[in-house]
A and B are shown apart, each in its own frame.
Chain A
Amino acid sequence: MVQLPLLEVDSLTIDYQTRRGNIRAVNNLSFTLERGETLGLVGESGSGKSTLGLSIIRLVPPPGVIVNGHIRLDGTDILTLSEEEMRFIRGKKVAFVFQDPMTSLSPVKKVEAHFVELIRTHEPNISEREALERAKKALNDVGILPERIDDYPHQFSGGMRQRIMIALAIALNPDLVIADEPTTALDVIVQAKILDLLKSLRDTYGMALILITHDLSIVLERCDKIIVMYAGNLVEYATSMELHKNPGHPYTKGLLQSIPNIELAEQKLKAIPGSPPNLLNPQKGCHFWPRCSYAKEKCHMEGPPVVEFSPGHFIRCFREAHNPERSHKR
């Protein structure tokens, strides 16, 4: 029997139904994630990456509505679960690490209270002493002195608070950790440390990890697979090695060209011109064409389909689909 993938997102569509109109935040998106795999979810602000992350624990903020598709966790479609059943998945099976560590801990509660609260929510029979033991172990795993469990959040720095958030996420040994821009609020050195910590914890605990970020460079070296999103659409989906060597979509190429490279001192960084579309009144055709240097007549008229660029490597673009020789060139 083939083992079920841990997470299977199938033609997921999420709309923000605002008073001014429908905004399609995630459009017909599918991917799978195996146990222990790391997935990077890359896109600029408003591309739907956070919405997608939140939908996996079914906490898309109103007026967001999942209008179509399935999210299967261990084969169970979580969209059919009751709110009570969903509570047991949040935190226990799927843990979330939020963007802003400075406000993600309650300022009036000690760190230990956060842990005891979390552990006892899911395992009410556990004694407080045992919960504290587990909390200390989790803190130790993220490199925070277990003695400091007695302190209040304001006594920690931003990087340490993010470590605490990660410790909270792994305390119940979840199958999947979703980190939504976990390092945006931190400086570059701390950022690298936090990301490496997440990766080493993944190796220790064997959990799967979804890393949501707007910075392609930080996921390239740390993730197994990468999804690039643009304006609610999946534009490219490949292993990070493949994506790096052989980017298919013009947007991904643009992103890769905008990463500074220390070895090419003379190279000028290329920015992608323009800005993302207004999703309230999306133009016809491909969302990316106004910024695309390869855009053709056809791109203005209809949205491109998702095509297999090379085995296991998918892009949403006409260019490659109409140029079959190209995809075999490598």
Chain B
Amino acid sequence: MQKVETKRRIFPSFIPNLASLARRGLAGWITLIGVTIVLSIILMTLLAPWISPHNPAEINVGPLSSPPNSQFPLGTNHLGQDMLSRIISGGSVMIQVAVLSVFFCLLVGLPIGLLASYAGGIIDKVFSLVMDSLYAFPGMVLAIAIAAMIGTGVVNMALSIAVVYVPSYFRIVRSQVLTIKELPYAEAALATGAKGRSILLRYILPNVVPSVVVVATVNFADAILTAAGLTFIGLGVEKSIPDWGWDLTDGRALLPSGAWWVITFPGIMIVLLALGFTLMGEGLSELLNPRLEQ
């Protein structure tokens, strides 16, 4: 038999090659911008100990409530802390909370969604009902209620946010499973004698993953905003840890005295980070949709 070199193409992986993104039209650019924003902020936060000019938690490094000037480019707050240093390191908690909450959501929402919708019947009904009632709550209110019950800290914040967003994962997984389990390849697998378990894990799960990845990226943005909100009202981390959410709280108190810089810069950073994740999610959802390819 003649040997023919078949042309191999890399199947669209979940993290597309960054350089090739720009060649894939608007969705590619959107993803590229989102990824750039997110990666820059993460990098900045990681490098904070080396690049920030002052210790972000130290008080009286400069004059109190000084407007931006050459020595303190973003000014200082009412405790004389350097705002630039606080901006550089203040995203750490938020990013940790976002990553952790998405992880918790995946850990709970994905298996429950898969099992309940594949099993169908009464199990599916019960879980759908529970998830829909959770979904009916306004997210922030539910997160505040849970955070108030279980207390502050990175893990607790992540947990309270995860409870709010698990229903989104459940819903998207369920809708996908209900579609896929009726498709011929799932039926064909059954006709070859495959067990229910292996159909679920080897045929349905891999086809659900792309949609879940999209939900997760969009979810990052929501988690960032909710985390900022929780810290803003004092349900986040301790005051001694620099965080954009706390800076918002301080800035709000200082705003009447005209110190606009304390609230503006952390606000911009939070919006920027959320925007980065949103762009990334929107772009990925376009790129991973096989029907829109080409």
Contact = CB atoms under 8 A, between A and B. Distances in A.
A121 B206 contact: no
A122 B192 CA distance: 9
A57 B190 CA distance: 10
Given A109-B206, A152-B11, A121 B192 contact: yes
Interface stretch (A24-32, A100-108, A303-311): A100-108
Contacts, number: 83
B193 A104 contact: no
A70 interface: no
Given A91-B192, A96-B191, A145-B6, A103 B185 contact: yes
A118 interface: yes
B207 interface: yes
Nearest to A109: B206
B239 interface: no
Chain B contact patch, size range = 20 to 34
Nearest to A101: B184
B122 interface: no
B19 interface: no
Nearest to B186: A106
Contact of B192 (A95, A109, A113, A151): A95
A73 to B, nearest CB: 14
Interface string B19-48: 000000000000000000000000000000
Nearest to B209: A108
A108 B198 contact: no
B286 to A, nearest CB: 18
Contacts of B192: 90-91, 95-96, 118, 121, 168
A100 B184 contact: yes
Given A90-B190, A91-B192, A145-B6, A103 B184 contact: yes
A165 interface: yes
A263 interface: no
A150 interface: yes
B6 A103 contact: no
A117 B6 CA distance: 23
A103 B190 contact: no
B183 interface: yes
A104 B6 contact: no
A100 B186 CA distance: 13
A155 interface: yes
A160 to B, nearest CB: 12
B290 interface: yes
A57 B187 CA distance: 12
Contacts of A57: 191
B183 A121 contact: no
Given A90-B191, A92-B193, A106-B207, A148 B290 contact: no
Contacts of B193: 87-92, 121-122
Interface in A148-180: 148, 150-152, 154-155, 165, 168
A105 B184 CA distance: 8
Contacts of B11: 108, 152
B194 interface: yes
B178 to A, nearest CB: 15
B4 A147 contact: yes
9 closest A-B pairs by beta carbon, nearest first, are A91-B192, A90-B193, A91-B193, A96-B191, A87-B193, A108-B206, A104-B184, A103-B184, A106-B185
Interface of A: 57, 59, 87-92, 95-96, 98-100, 103-109, 113, 117-118, 121-122, 140, 145-148, 150-152, 154-155, 165, 168
Interface of B: 1, 3-4, 6, 8-9, 11, 183-185, 187-195, 198, 202-203, 206-207, 209, 290
Given A109-B203, A121-B192, A147-B4, 15 more contacts: A59-B187, A90-B190, A90-B192, A90-B193, A95-B192, A98-B187, A98-B188, A99-B184, A104-B184, A104-B185, A105-B185, A108-B207, A113-B202, A150-B6, A151-B8
